[in-house]
Structure 1
């Protein structure tokens, strides 16, 4: 960065709080949540929501479990006034859900706010005025006393009008740009407003301390919150609320540390939608708690629905790597990650543990309505473990471990060739083409066990077989005797066709269940050069499946030798 440019900036001042206690605190319960998606979030949209979209978003927020929802700034916008009336007159506000409305500390706006709120059983009137040093000096050109007088006058009107309506009014006050305000002044104006509202422990006022602009590291914001909580008179008569923005990219951390420092309530939006770089993301904050075994008291068990409604109403896209909700957050392309996830899932199945412990996955995707099918996805960076996971969890093929590297190389070649991610169906198609339907050299036309018996004196099985094998398009009839059908067929290939190979490994398992179930066989052979080749075969008869698997391995060996 240019050195001259650096001279324009200075460090944010530290809070003199030598005996801070918040670093030793642990968040053990959910705060009171307040969604501001319909106000802060909506005002940040290129195309603000219409009434239908606002209603759908409101209903989603209720479904998730928000009990306090800031529905708009009804005195400043006709559509926000109309929306509040739609909620009230249409009976869309469930019992226990409280609408919150924002207003500046100005008489005309406050009066219109009460008109808009008429008929609602409850409501939070959220009044604010800017208190920051910079805005006092540059925007308003007013001193501290004048700013306090403005806030107190607004509070007096809000309090007086509350006595004349049939709505149960709760009060909220925000010293806007709290993080740009001297702490002693923020405390002074909040206490002056509290004196007007006359809160009690049974009917507390909400004091919202917003990081309207995120100006410091999260620990300093936590210091500010602890200092404020310590020095506020009648602390038991106030709910301390935080409203963090994300200018430095640390809104979630700032809110978490603020809760440790004594905050009781958090305002924010889904996916952090808000002015500039956004508000704190309530979904991330809540699921961070969930991942620690704390009930967030918000329901994100159908996270895909939340994403769909949000994207439809806001016209914004949730980034694919967005925490918890992004399309790719439960997806691994890296080979080492895929292998670790595969082993972790297998271990979890074996142990039946009640604890979720899977490498690279801090939360079980199923808890959010996601499925395991999307955890591992394949591209040119993927490894053998991920490919094996897809084959097993998507299609039921439990490839032997020694087979993983070879098939992984096959898939990587295909991915490199197309330059894109491979879908599970493409992986299956590649497997079938490479192993199951590879009959370029040798193809089984018929196979019969002519005679099979046990030689009791030598305690061994003897089988005589007859098979017809197409060899490069020409049918050859083969006879042989061996210890069993597969051994006899190997002998038939060696004696009848002069082939040189050693049967090295054999695996099998059922692919489907029921009377017509199919079996899959995997066979490894070593060719004349001791090079390993795997093949696979499927049939309702396990013996035939093993014969097909052997020919598959030999065909792969033959094809590579020709290349």
Structure 2
């Protein structure tokens, strides 16, 4: 049957709460500032919803985890439902599994035989809670039980009397302290006036509620059938009309039929709730109970301690999923694998900028010793590290991502802070590779693409590879080289051709050209222009420089700081666009500034040469090595004549190996 065009012919809207006309609701102006009392019902409400209920061994494993997380009230079983359930309660009590500050709760319907069995299961426990329930809404009274309101009240009070009698007897025997938790099952579908009437009669029948020994009222949204604000109204109505309010704990128990259990729980607390009942990850009948992890971390992200420890959330999630034989969506709040991940370029850009800005703020707090390191990040409301995660999953790169995401991965994994124009250039490489592979670009794939694109290897890659080089300062008058300056270093800002402050020097480098070693030479102001001149004069490759920057890399696992040089270059006669189309970036890494510059030049050259054919090696003049004293007369002749050699000859006596 198709959906109705007019559903009002079939479904009734939720009824109004009978507040006076001039009543001003309190809950919209309230704010949660302290954590509620938490009741985990994973081992009972959650367990009874499983296709394959947990074994007692599995329940024990989960019980221990709940205690470790910090739950002080745990509903452990429905002991009258089966012998296995009864034995579980007895085993954790008799084996000393229950800390003195943890209360065990068991559930029982309002039936005398089942009540007695439930109370017996708790004998010897230091703190025990009897969860007594019966459904009280019109649809259950009239259809399921065929009871009037008066008959429902009588059934309830008879059960309360029996619980009171049996618990007092058990307390006298074993010393167990019992608390009554009366659940108005289907509370959210019950007339508000009747819930208050029934609650006040239960209080009177129990007769011993006090601020030090309170009675709990479980206001169960057994079926979530109205908006969260309606549930909050019902809770506030009950809270403001129940007698002995200072002797009452209002316990909130939402279900998730409308997908708003978390909102209902949060509003229920504002409306007067003191306690939350739910399960980790929201396991439970139909769409489940309220998720305690989401609730707790919502509070935590607002600066309110939930008094529950989810410092290793992934471990907790894995355990709950194993015990319940379930899985959660990758986008599930806080616990999903992708909840702290951004694939969209605009999101990635905001996160990268946010991390950079926050790092500066926090450094300033440390520097001046004042202020607070507040978390303030676009798209990420809570620091993943607080939950045991790292930042490596914050930005994931696909063909739909942007330059910021790729740059973030490079910075996190290779410690390189790419210039903005270079980010644009390299992202195009990553995007093309992602489309070619048809999948996400992992950090490993991005790093590999970066090294391949910019020829960053300690062995020959690309058509050109710099093995070694020497720098000689040249005499301004004679242009002749003096002693070599292999440790030459200067400021990276001095890259422009017209800078008169730089020393004119000669670059002499041994490089591989298509696998064959040869020597190239060139002169210029500083190592960059000298290396460019060598490429022009020896390989007929004329390049022009664009933007450039450098970065010092200091890490604990490196003995010396490294310098990264980034240089944008293009072929002579071309005009790169404002976005960088038409230019190529080069990257050089070394512990020596000059070496990093020279490597950056060769790196960029590799990206620009394409399939260019290089001229053959030139024949250059090279003096012979000095002769012995007895051959000095012959040396005069030979030195004047010299000899013609190929650039391929090696100058072992002059060569300076570059640092790797």
TM-score by length of 2: 0.82
What does the per-residue CA deviation read over 1:266-319, in whole Å, with 9 as the maximum and x for residues that have no partner? Answer: 111111111100111111111111111111111112212211211221111232
Q: 2: distance between equivalents of 1:453 and 1:387?
A: 46
Aligned match of 2:411? 392
Cα 1:561–1:138 change in 2 (3 A) is: farther
1:75-94 correspondence runs (5 A): 75-94=80-99
Any conservation in 1 of the 2:463–2:513 contact (CA below 8 Å)?
yes
Aligned match of 1:402? 421
Residue 414, structure 1, aligned to residue 433, structure 2: yes
Q: 2: distance between equivalents of 1:114 and 1:355?
A: 49
Aligned match of 1:41? 46
Of 185, 198, 205, the match for 1:196: 205
Deviates more, 1:469-478 or 1:196-205: 469-478
1:400-479 correspondence runs (5 A): 400-437=419-456, 439-451=461-473, 460-479=502-521
What does the per-residue CA deviation read over 1:499-525, in whole Å, with 9 as the maximum and x for residues that have no partner? Answer: 222122332334455445543322110
What does the per-residue CA deviation read over 1:221-243, in whole Å, with 9 as the maximum and x for residues that have no partner? Answer: 11111111111122222111110
Of 40, 58, 63, the match for 1:58: 63
Any conservation in 1 of the 2:183–2:217 contact (CA below 8 Å)?
yes
Q: 1: distance between equivalents of 2:77 and 2:594?
A: 72
Residue 378 of structure 1, CA deviation: 1.2
Any conservation in 2 of the 1:502–1:526 contact (CA below 8 Å)?
yes
Q: 1: distance between equivalents of 2:611 and 2:216?
A: 75
Aligned match of 2:642? none
Q: 2: distance between equivalents of 1:148 and 1:329?
A: 47
Residue 115, structure 1, aligned to residue 124, structure 2: no
Aligned match of 2:629? none
Residue 211, structure 1, aligned to residue 233, structure 2: no
What does the per-residue CA deviation read over 1:25-81, in whole Å, with 9 as the maximum and x for residues that have no partner? Answer: 111111111111111111111211111111111111111111111111111122211
Cα 1:490–1:155 change in 2 (3 A) is: same
What is the DSSP-based 3-state SS (H/G/I as helix, E as strand, rest coil) of the residue aligned with 2:50? coil
Residue 524, structure 1, aligned to residue 568, structure 2: yes
Q: 2: distance between equivalents of 1:266 and 1:317?
A: 24
Aligned match of 1:230? 240
Of 15, 18, 29, the match for 1:16: 18
Residue 335 of structure 1, CA deviation: 0.8
**Could you say which structure has the larger radius of gyration?**
2
Any conservation in 2 of the 1:436–1:538 contact (CA below 8 Å)?
no
Any conservation in 2 of the 1:454–1:460 contact (CA below 8 Å)?
no
Aligned match of 2:301? 291
Any conservation in 1 of the 2:265–2:290 contact (CA below 8 Å)?
yes
1:378-389 correspondence runs (5 A): 378-389=397-408
Residue 279, structure 1, aligned to residue 289, structure 2: yes
1:106-505 correspondence runs (5 A): 106-165=111-170, 166=174, 167-198=176-207, 199-352=209-362, 354-437=373-456, 439-451=461-473, 460-505=502-547
Deviates more, 1:152-161 or 1:292-301: 292-301
Q: 2: distance between equivalents of 1:448 and 1:267?
A: 75
Residue 406 of structure 1, CA deviation: 1.0
Deviates more, 1:9-18 or 1:399-408: 9-18
Residue 460 of structure 1, CA deviation: 4.0
Q: 1: distance between equivalents of 2:455 and 2:418?
A: 13
The CA RMSD over aligned residues, in Å, is 1.9
Q: 1: distance between equivalents of 2:561 and 2:515?
A: 30
Any conservation in 1 of the 2:521–2:537 contact (CA below 8 Å)?
no
Aligned match of 2:494? none
Q: 1: distance between equivalents of 2:590 and 2:474?
A: 21
Residue 555, structure 1, aligned to residue 606, structure 2: yes
Task: Return 5+ residue gaps in structure 1 as ranges.
Answer: none
What is the DSSP-based 3-state SS (H/G/I as helix, E as strand, rest coil) of the residue aligned with 1:128? strand
Deviates more, 1:170-179 or 1:389-398: 389-398
Q: 2: distance between equivalents of 1:392 and 1:559?
A: 28
Q: 2: distance between equivalents of 1:430 and 1:501?
A: 24
What is the DSSP-based 3-state SS (H/G/I as helix, E as strand, rest coil) of the residue aligned with 1:242? strand
Any conservation in 2 of the 1:30–1:296 contact (CA below 8 Å)?
yes
Q: How many residues are aligned here?
A: 560
Cα 1:111–1:545 change in 2 (3 A) is: same
Q: 2: distance between equivalents of 1:499 and 1:85?
A: 85
Any conservation in 2 of the 1:123–1:169 contact (CA below 8 Å)?
yes
Any conservation in 1 of the 2:532–2:542 contact (CA below 8 Å)?
no
Residue 326 of structure 1, CA deviation: 1.3
Q: 1: distance between equivalents of 2:551 and 2:149?
A: 80
TM-score by length of 1: 0.95
Cα 1:445–1:201 change in 2 (3 A) is: closer
Any conservation in 1 of the 2:398–2:441 contact (CA below 8 Å)?
yes
What is the DSSP-based 3-state SS (H/G/I as helix, E as strand, rest coil) of the residue aligned with 1:372? coil
Q: 2: distance between equivalents of 1:38 and 1:91?
A: 18
What is the DSSP-based 3-state SS (H/G/I as helix, E as strand, rest coil) of the residue aligned with 2:303? coil
Residue 444 of structure 1, CA deviation: 2.1
Any conservation in 1 of the 2:343–2:395 contact (CA below 8 Å)?
yes
Aligned match of 2:621? none
What does the per-residue CA deviation read over 1:79-133, in whole Å, with 9 as the maximum and x for residues that have no partner? Answer: 2111111110110001100000100010110111121111111100110011111
Aligned match of 1:3? 5
Q: 1: distance between equivalents of 2:598 and 2:8?
A: 74
Any conservation in 2 of the 1:439–1:555 contact (CA below 8 Å)?
no
